[in-house]
Amino acid sequence: MANVNENFLKLQDSYLFSTIAKKVAKFTEENPNKKVIKLGIGDVTRPVIPAVLSAMHKAVDEMGTKEGFRGYGPEQGYDFLRNAIVENEYKNLGIEPDEIFVSDGAKCDCGNIVDIFGMENKVAITDPVYPVYIDTNVISGRSGNFNESTGTYENIVYLPVNSSNNFIPELPKERVDMIYLCFPNNPTGTVLNKEELKKFVDYARKNNSIILFDSAYEAFITEKDIPHSIYEIEGAKEVAIEFKSFSKTAGFTGVRCAYTVIPKTVYGYTKAGEKVSLNKLWNRRTTTKFNGVSYVVQRAAEAIYTDEGKKQIKENIEYYQENARVIKEGLQEAGFTVYGGVNAPYIWLKIPSGMKSWEFFDMLLNEANVVGTPGSGFGPSGEGYFRLTAFGDKENTKEAVERVVKFGKTLAKHNKI
Ligand SMILES: Cc1ncc(COP(=O)(O)O)c(C=O)c1O
């Protein structure tokens, strides 16, 4: 008899996006003449940039020649890409190419990283949260059961972020070993400045904890004092692992390429208290379970760092940033309180008092024919909030905002906002 990993049975089914899809399908069926605009999904819509496309074509052609053909590549990524990442992302931060591990996605990396950590570790996450951090710790057995009444897993430390703490998580009140931080944040679109992030780095150094820093939305940062990498913070190279992705930066959600940075100065401990290099463990895990990202895709990623590539990517990011601005300013004009949207493609809207996230979803769909994501789907502290994304088409985004503004004005008339 083969037993199953019963931790999977503790997982809560995520009905979030399937429930949204069902509600939208029903609405569309009942209202075939209404144009529904979706500002709910976190996927990009701009096509792959020409610089990347031509690098891919070239690499594909190389693969068809005797001299250019490549079989298995290095599991950690080709030197040409690891060097380009160091040169362009970490030039003055002292990160070296063998501290970069190229992968097929930050989602997999954030999930797989749990392999190298002990089961007894206490894990902290911010709430609301990108669900991968929590679910992968549940699967690997670091949580207790799900508590229906609180909406949280036992044995996981939740760090709520909401308008009362200005979306800045407090340091854990109890000692934790692993802390997941995602900034710019999905879903709230908020950021930590250097001083705020330093508090976490100092906490981790004091407590021998590790920070797992997801920086998938770094390219959207516009303000000055916001760190683009956790390694800008003094001491972070002793305690932090950084996850980065080309998905949102360069429209690679379908192409698939990302990387994880583990400085050689980051250590975990055995139960006997011996220091173990996490870079070495991750390298071992990677060479055992992964055979590398395809040559064609790594050449595509490299092309992002050419002058042409940088220029084209900037245009795409600016396109989404402009959408974020239009959404944010439109909603504010309509009287809503909104967060995020300045250093991130996500706008986090405070729902008019007394209303739940799903009620607001239904109302917005019915009255404005606009789809967003209920904040409660990202954790208990997301209740009362709603996420809109800037990844849509410019014209549709404008139209959606006009409709939401109109809807907001009717709510305001009834003193609901
Ligand atoms: C916070 C965060 N990290 C990671 C990812 C996934 O990145 P990738 O496409 O590289 O797997 C996402 C995708 O939405 C995300 O929101």
Residues 35 and 82 in one domain: no
Confidence (pLDDT) at 15: 75
Residues 149 and 101 in one domain: yes
Residue nearest atom 14 in ligand 1 by C-alpha distance = 42
Residues of the domain holding 353: 12-41+308-413
For the segment 376-405, what is each residue's pLDDT rounded down to a tens digit?
A: 999 999 999 999 999 999 999 999 999 999
CA of 107 to the centre of ligand 1 (A): 5
Supply φ then ψ for residue 378, to 5 degrees: -105, 10
Residues 106 and 33 in one domain: no
For the segment 121-148, what is each residue's pLDDT rounded down to a tens digit?
A: 999 999 999 999 999 999 999 999 999 9
Instruction: Flag whether pLDDT at 174 surpasses 70.
Output: yes
User: From the CB of 106, is ligand 1 less than 6 Å away?
Assistant: yes
CA of 31 to the centre of ligand 1 (A): 33
CA of 47 to the centre of ligand 1 (A): 18
Query: 401, 397, 404: which is closest to 46 by C-alpha?
Result: 397
For the segment 303-336, what is each residue's pLDDT rounded down to a tens digit?
A: 999 999 999 999 999 999 999 999 999 999 888 9
Q: Which of 273, 305, 337 is the last residue of a domain?
A: 305
User: From the CB of 214, is ligand 1 less than 6 Å away?
Assistant: yes
- What CATH number corresponds to the domain at position 325? 3.90.1150.10
User: From the CB of 182, is ligand 1 less than 6 Å away?
Assistant: yes
Q: Given ligand 1 and candidates 245, 297, 320, which is best to mutate, with the most ligand atoms within 8 Å of its CB?
A: 245
DSSP string, 109-162: HHHHGGGGS-TT--EEEEES--HHHHHHHHHTT-S--EETTTTEETTEEEEE--
Residues 291 and 232 in one domain: yes
For the segment 69-121, what is each residue's pLDDT rounded down to a tens digit?
A: 999 999 999 999 999 999 999 999 999 999 999 999 999 999 999 999 999 99
- What CATH number corresponds to the domain at position 214? 3.40.640.10
Q: Given ligand 1 and candidates 125, 133, 247, which is best to mutate, with the most ligand atoms within 8 Å of its CB?
A: 247
Residues 209 and 228 in one domain: yes
CA of 143 to the centre of ligand 1 (A): 22
Six token digits for residue 352: 């008019």
Q: For residues 417 and 410, what is the distance between their CA atoms, to the nearest angstrom?
A: 9
Q: Given ligand 1 and candidates 41, 130, 180, 185, which is best to mutate, with the most ligand atoms within 8 Å of its CB?
A: 130
Six token digits for residue 182: 């995602």
263: β partners: none
Residue 156, C-beta contacts closer than 8 angstroms, at least 6 positions apart: 123, 124, 125, 134, 137, 142, 143, 144
Listed in sequence order, the DSSP H helices in 245-381 are 246-250, 278-289, 295-302, 307-333, 357-368
Confidence (pLDDT) at 17: 87
Residue nearest atom 6 in ligand 1 by C-alpha distance = 107
For the segment 11-40, what is each residue's pLDDT rounded down to a tens digit?
A: 998 778 889 999 999 999 999 999 999 998
Q: Which of 276, 305, 334 is the last residue of a domain?
A: 305
CA of 219 to the centre of ligand 1 (A): 13
Residues 20 and 61 in one domain: no
Residues 298 and 332 in one domain: no
User: Half-sphere exposure (CA, 13 Å, Cβ side) for 393?
Assistant: 6
Q: Which of 247, 282, 305 is the last residue of a domain?
A: 305
Confidence (pLDDT) at 8: 95
Residues 93 and 192 in one domain: yes
In a domain, 46, yes or no: no
CA of 106 to the centre of ligand 1 (A): 5
Q: Which atom of ligand 1 is nearest to the CA of 258?
A: 10
CA of 413 to the centre of ligand 1 (A): 39
Residues 365 and 378 in one domain: yes
CA of 216 to the centre of ligand 1 (A): 6
